[in-house]
Structure 1
Amino acid sequence: MRLGFILGEVGYGLRRNLSMVISVVLVTFVSLTFVGAAALLQMQITQMKGYWYDKVQVAVFLCGEDYGSATCADGAVTDPQRSDIQSMLESAAVKPYVASFEHESKEQALAHFREQFENSAIVDTVTADQLPESFRVSLVDPEKYDVINELFSSMKGVDVVIDQRELLEKIFSIINIASVVAIGIAGVMIVCAVLLVGTTIRLSAFTRRRETGIMRLVGASKASIQLPFVVEGVIAGLLGALLASGVLWGMATFFIDGKLAKEYPDTAFISTGEVFMVAPALILLGVVLAGVSSIVTLRRYLKV
């Protein structure tokens, strides 16, 4: 089997069915882009969980005037109540669960609020009296939130105990949903890509049936007849995978590293390193899907 002959047949087939080949490349590109985006989203979720779960705190919000909870029936938290809460945090029963804690006054809460919402129109409408003071508690084991909640939620002067992980879980749930949608769209597009590869190979085999018939008559092997068609499909799948990898690299470089990472320096984002981990899998997937689809189609429509 001569390499020059195989390459010549591949080039001839690609030129003759150029529009179909471009369609295969584009469909493969779109489908693998969704696959890669879903994989990167999962990596982002994992990275953010590992980063933020070590930083999240339990917020013990104290009573203010006219708060509706039963523990705030006597009005705003008093100095003795505040001291009791702090003493509980420093007690031997709680100390094994608490890594550190700090008191946040209304003024400090306002400063943090203005820092977080500096670009929002509501930043100048909020005053310190409208924000609750609190104790910010970092736990040794974030999974032990229920212990802190049980101990402090019924204390006089405590309005509510909030685990910040619950807020993060809502965000992660939304990202997970987006990831599942991306995987679903990718699955549909992959099916379209496989069918389109099969159609392209079938059309290529039909248009070259005279040549393949002659090759059969002169005793050409099955592999030498089918290999050019398989290579055509693999090349189309490979180009689509390379395009998908390039787009994902561009998003990571210019959007995530170049924009998001600079605007939100305290957030752990994925980088081009994760793209280089995903790209080989996308290339392999594109090549395998195109190759298998080509072989199955040839067995069905190109009898040798």
Structure 2
Amino acid sequence: MRLAFILSEIGSGLRRNLSMVISVILVTFVSLSFIGGAALLQMQINQMKDYWYDKVQVSIFLCADNSGAQTCAAGAITDEQRSDIESMMDSPAVAPYVDSYQHETQAEALTHFQDQFENSPIVDTVTADQLPESFRVRLVDPEKYEVINELFSSMEGVDVVVDQRELLEQIFSIMNVASLVSLGIAGVMIVCAVLLVATTIRLSAFSRRRETGIMRLVGASKLVIQLPFVLEGVIAAVIGALLASGALWAVARYFIEGHLAQQYPGTAFIASSQVWVIAPGLVILGAVLAGIASMLTLRRYLKV
């Protein structure tokens, strides 16, 4: 009997404040979508780090005729200098740090450049003599870049030593900023959602003040009186969280997996199934925020 009463009160409250309930659902949907999007972006960043850091290389660019480094004062690298670099690479001092390395000629550098920028208008203006030859070094531990830099940057015939991780860190930094911006927007929207929940519960309590007064007189407990109001806000927030989870899954499934993963097969993208890892957290977060907002509002506007 008590359960039937509570359910009827919840249905009555939702019908009376339908427009406000829809507003709560929409604001919760938007705010939790931003939170979920930030979480997915962070998962993507971590996955890309694991993927790319495993493939990261150190590029030892060799001297060309137009190189300005002090180690290139004699001009383009000679065969003897190239052999010295290879000997250093195979030496006992360096070998423990190097997983593998390969020499890239200017012609090979041009081929790679044309593959990477095949759709760019500048691809036909670059010639092989404009690109430096290099050694591409894969390290056992990418964190040991400084060891390679110190050993090779001062060798004759070496123009510059470049750690590809520095380029990746710049990209990941931008993505981290985007994640923080998304969380900031989500925080503002959550405040709006909490205020809307509080307003909805307050209006619902005011419109049913006569019924709650009668319930007090007949000895109804505080829990029985307040529970329908709390559940109204929780139900609206949970619906918004479920919609946010569904929207995030659709983006991951049809945009990331269906488009980006096919356009860029060499990049490790997150899977749509990973959305379900964060979906329960979104539902719980929505329910908890709505429950807390409802309880605080009822303590002030519904004295029992």
Task: Name the TM-score, length of structure 1 as normaliser.
Answer: 0.98
Deviation at 1:78, TM superposition (A): 1.1
Q: How does 1:130-169 map to 2 (within 5 A)?
A: 130-169=130-169
The more displaced of 34-43 and 167-176 is 34-43
1:218 is matched with which residue? 218
Deviation at 1:65, TM superposition (A): 1.2
Deviation at 1:215, TM superposition (A): 1.5
Q: What is the rounded CA distance, in whole Å, between the counterparts of 2:294 and 2:122 in structure 1?
A: 60
Q: How does 1:122-201 map to 2 (within 5 A)?
A: 122-201=122-201
2:276 is matched with which residue? 276
Q: How does 1:78-117 map to 2 (within 5 A)?
A: 78-117=78-117
The more displaced of 216-225 and 248-257 is 216-225
2:238 is matched with which residue? 238
Q: What is the rounded CA distance, in whole Å, between the counterparts of 1:138 and 1:144 in structure 2?
A: 11
Q: What is the rounded CA distance, in whole Å, between the counterparts of 1:103 and 1:145 in structure 2?
A: 18
> 2:149 corresponds to which letter in structure 1?
N
1:76 is matched with which residue? 76
- Unaligned segments of structure 2, at least 5 residues: none
1:228 is matched with which residue? 228
> 2:24 corresponds to which letter in structure 1?
V
1:34 is matched with which residue? 34
Q: What are the superposed Cα offsets for residues 51-73 of structure 1, whole Å, 9 maximum, x if unpaired?
A: 11110000000111111111111
Q: What are the superposed Cα offsets for residues 124-164 of structure 1, whole Å, 9 maximum, x if unpaired?
A: 22111111110000111111100100010011111100000
Q: What is the rounded CA distance, in whole Å, between the counterparts of 1:152 and 1:227 in structure 2?
A: 71
Deviation at 1:110, TM superposition (A): 1.1
> 1:300 corresponds to which letter in structure 2?
R
Q: What is the rounded CA distance, in whole Å, between the counterparts of 1:34 and 1:268 in structure 2?
A: 22
SS in 1 for 2:269: coil
Deviation at 1:272, TM superposition (A): 1.4
The more displaced of 171-180 and 2-11 is 2-11
RMSD: 1.0
Deviation at 1:273, TM superposition (A): 2.2
Q: What is the rounded CA distance, in whole Å, between the counterparts of 1:106 and 1:266 in structure 2?
A: 24
Deviation at 1:38, TM superposition (A): 1.0
Q: What are the superposed Cα offsets for residues 231-278 of structure 1, whole Å, 9 maximum, x if unpaired?
A: 100011101101110111011101111111111111111111221101
> 2:85 corresponds to which letter in structure 1?
I
Q: What are the superposed Cα offsets for residues 99-123 of structure 1, whole Å, 9 maximum, x if unpaired?
A: 1000011111111111111222222
Q: What is the rounded CA distance, in whole Å, between the counterparts of 2:256 and 2:296 in structure 1?
A: 40
Say whether 1:247 aligns with 2:247: yes
Say whether 1:285 aligns with 2:285: yes
> 1:224 corresponds to which letter in structure 2?
V
Q: What is the rounded CA distance, in whole Å, between the counterparts of 1:121 and 1:7 in structure 2?
A: 67
Deviation at 1:76, TM superposition (A): 1.0
Deviation at 1:30, TM superposition (A): 0.9
Q: What is the rounded CA distance, in whole Å, between the counterparts of 1:285 and 1:5 in structure 2?
A: 27
Q: What is the rounded CA distance, in whole Å, between the counterparts of 1:9 and 1:115 in structure 2?
A: 66
Query: Runs of 4 or more off by more than 6 Å in structure 1?
Result: none
SS in 2 for 1:135: strand
Report % sequence identity. Answer: 74
Q: What is the rounded CA distance, in whole Å, between the counterparts of 1:276 and 1:38 in structure 2?
A: 15
- Unaligned segments of structure 1, at least 5 residues: none
2:50 is matched with which residue? 50
SS in 1 for 2:123: helix
The more displaced of 187-196 and 118-127 is 118-127
Q: What is the rounded CA distance, in whole Å, between the counterparts of 2:123 and 2:243 in structure 1?
A: 44
Q: What is the rounded CA distance, in whole Å, between the counterparts of 1:10 and 1:127 in structure 2?
A: 74
Q: What is the rounded CA distance, in whole Å, between the counterparts of 2:7 and 2:122 in structure 1?
A: 66
> 1:106 corresponds to which letter in structure 2?
Q
SS in 2 for 1:54: helix
SS in 1 for 2:216: helix
